[in-house]
Amino acid sequence: MNQPEKFNFNDRPAAGIEKLARRILNINIANGWDVTNAFDWPEGQRPKEEAANKLAAKLALIHSEVSEALEALRAGNRGNYAEELADVVIRVLDHAEGLNIDLGTEIELKLERNASRGYRHGGKAL
Ligand SMILES: [Mg+2]
């Protein structure tokens, strides 16, 4: 991703997310989970079919946590809703860290882009 001109690497509030992501990955490795790793999708290459299937399963699990949050919302259970939102973030950070994706930097870059997109990104309803 190209870096927008306004981006300032000296002001990176999302940088702390990297330590959290590493901690999550280490916990999941210690617990025996088949975490993603850099070999699943090397930079500059397409993932091989088996690795792509593994990554797809990881995305499905992220989605399952979103669905669990929706069910908590439907049940009116705010405590469970908060827990499921945490699950979403944990799964996303685990996935990105395993692939050596610097999610803190990606978030900073995306926030910078979003901030420049204007009110409701040009008039979108949602
Ligand atoms: Mg859950």
Tokens 């091989």, located at residue: 48
CA 68 – ligand 1 centroid, Å: 6
CA 71 – ligand 1 centroid, Å: 10
Give the predicted TM-score (pTM) of the model.
Answer: 0.85
Rg (CA), the chain: 17
CA 77 – ligand 1 centroid, Å: 13
Distance CA 126, CA 124 (A): 6
Predicted pLDDT of residue 123:
87
pLDDT profile of the chain (126 residues), mean per 10 = 53 79 96 96 96 97 98 98 98 97 92 90 88
Every domain of the chain and the residues it spans: 15-29+46-113
Q: Positive or negative, the Cα torsion across 69, 74, 78, 80? A: negative
Tokens 């959290």, located at residue: 20
Q: Positive or negative, the Cα torsion across 105, 108, 112, 118? A: positive
Predicted pLDDT of residue 126:
87
- Strands (DSSP E) contained in the chain are none
- The conformation of residue 124, written as its DSSP 8-state character, comes to -
CA 103 – ligand 1 centroid, Å: 21
CATH says 15-29+46-113 is which class?
mainly alpha
